[in-house]
Structure 1
Amino acid sequence: MAELRTDRLVLRGWRDSDLEPWAVMNADPEVREYFPDVLTRERSEASVAGFQADLDQRGWGWWAVEVRATGEFIGFTGLDPVDEDTPFTGVEVGWRLARPHWGHGYATEAALAALDHGFTTLDLAEILAITTATNLRSQAVMRRIGMTRDPADDFDDLTVPEGPLRRSVVYRLRAKDRQ
C-alpha cells in the first residue's frame, strides 16, 4: 500500500486509533452538511473497514490523513472509482476533514498529493471530483487544485432524497492539462 507524504501531512492506512475521531467527525452535522445524514458509529467503522480493504487490495483509495508534526488524525482523502450509480465512469479525488482542521489548507495539500499519485503512479488520464451544487467550500478546493467544471456534466444523484443535496457538480482534471 502506498503511503503519501507532503510537507505537513501523511496519507496512510487506517489504524484502530482512527476509529473514534472518525466516528466523532461523521456524527458532526456540520462535517456532514452536504450528505443526506450523519453516520452512526457502526457505519463509520464499516466505512473504515472498506477503505482499508481497498488500500490493501489496490494499494490506493481513501487514506487516513494525519498531521506529520503531531501524528493527529484529521480526516481522509484519496482516490476511488466513482460509484456504480454515477452516470459516468472514472476515478474521483475526495476529502473530508474534522472541523478544527478546516481553513488550514490541509484539504488542498492532501488532494494535490492524491492527484500526483493518481497521475504519476497510477498513470490515470483524468481524475474527477464530485460534490453537491451547494458545497461551495469543496468546489473552491477543486478549483485550487487545478480542476475545472463543465455544467454539462452536472447530474442529479438519485441515491439522495429530493432536495438541495441531490444536484451534483463534477470537476475534472486531465493529466495533459496539469501545470
Structure 2
Amino acid sequence: MGYDADGDWLGWWCLAVDETDEAAAELGYRLRRTAWGHGYATEGSRVLLDHAFETLGLQRVWAQTMAVNTRSRGVMERLGMRHVRTYQGEWEDPLPGAWRGEVVYEITPS
C-alpha cells in the first residue's frame, strides 16, 4: 500500500509470481481516483520493477488492463513495457468497453 506525504492512502501495488513461469511476475496497481495523474502509479511500479529484476532476478514482468484504459496503458509504456497481445476475455458482468478486449504488456531486464 502507498501513502502520500500527508499520510493519505493512495492505493496499492503488487508483484505476483507467475504460476506458469517462475522467472516471471505480474505487476498490478490500483489507485484512488484522487491519486490519478500525479505519477504515483509509474513511481511505485518502477520500484517494483527494480526489485523484480535486481533483487529477485526475474526475467520478465507483465501487466494487463482493459484496452480502453488508456491511462494505465500510458503507465506501462512510460515504464518501458511493450504491448505483446490483445485478447477477448469472457466476463459474467462486463464493464463498459470490455468488448474491446484486454491488453498485455511486458518488460525484460535491460
TM-score after normalising by structure 2:
0.83
Distance of 1:164 and 1:101 partners within structure 2: 23
Identical-residue share of aligned pairs (%): 37
Q: 1:165 aligns with which of 76, 87, 98?
A: 98
Q: Is 2:16 the partner of 1:66?
A: no
Match among 124, 129, 134 for residue 58 of structure 2:
124
Structure with greater helix percent: 1
Aligned to 2:67: 133
**Aligned ranges for residues 50-129 of structure 1 at < 5 Å?**
64-67=1-4, 69-81=5-17, 90-129=24-63
The aligned residue for residue 20 of structure 1 is none
Superposition deviation, residue 108 in structure 1? 0.5
In the TM superposition, what is the alpha-carbon distance from 1:160 to its structure 2 partner? Answer: 5.2
Q: Distance in 2 between matches of 1:137 and 1:147?
A: 14
Structure-1 residue corresponding to 2:86: 154
**RMSD in angstroms over aligned alpha carbons?**
2.1
Matches for 1:5-24 after TM superposition, within 5 Å: none
Q: Could you list the per-position Cα deviations for residues 16-72 of structure 1 after superposition, in whole angstroms to 9, with x for gaps in the alignment?
A: xxxxxxxxxxxxxxxxxxxxxxxxxxxxxxxxxxxxxxxxxxxxxxxx1112x2222
Which fold has the larger relative contact order, with Cα–Cα distance below 8 Å and residues 6 or more apart in sequence? 2
2:77 maps to which of 135, 143, 147? 143
Give secondary structure in 2 for the equivalent of 1:71.
coil
Q: Mark the CA change 1:174 to 1:160 in structure 2 (over 3 Å): closer, same or farther.
A: farther
Q: How many residues align?
A: 106
Q: Which runs of 5+ in 2 are unaligned?
A: none
Q: Find runs of 4+ consecutive structure 1 residues off by over 3 angstroms.
A: 159-163
By how many angstroms is 1:114 displaced?
0.8
Q: 1:112 to 1:160 in 2, by over 3 A?
A: farther
Structure 1 residues 123, 92: CA separation in 2 closer, same or farther (over 3 Å shift)? same
TM norm structure 1: 0.53
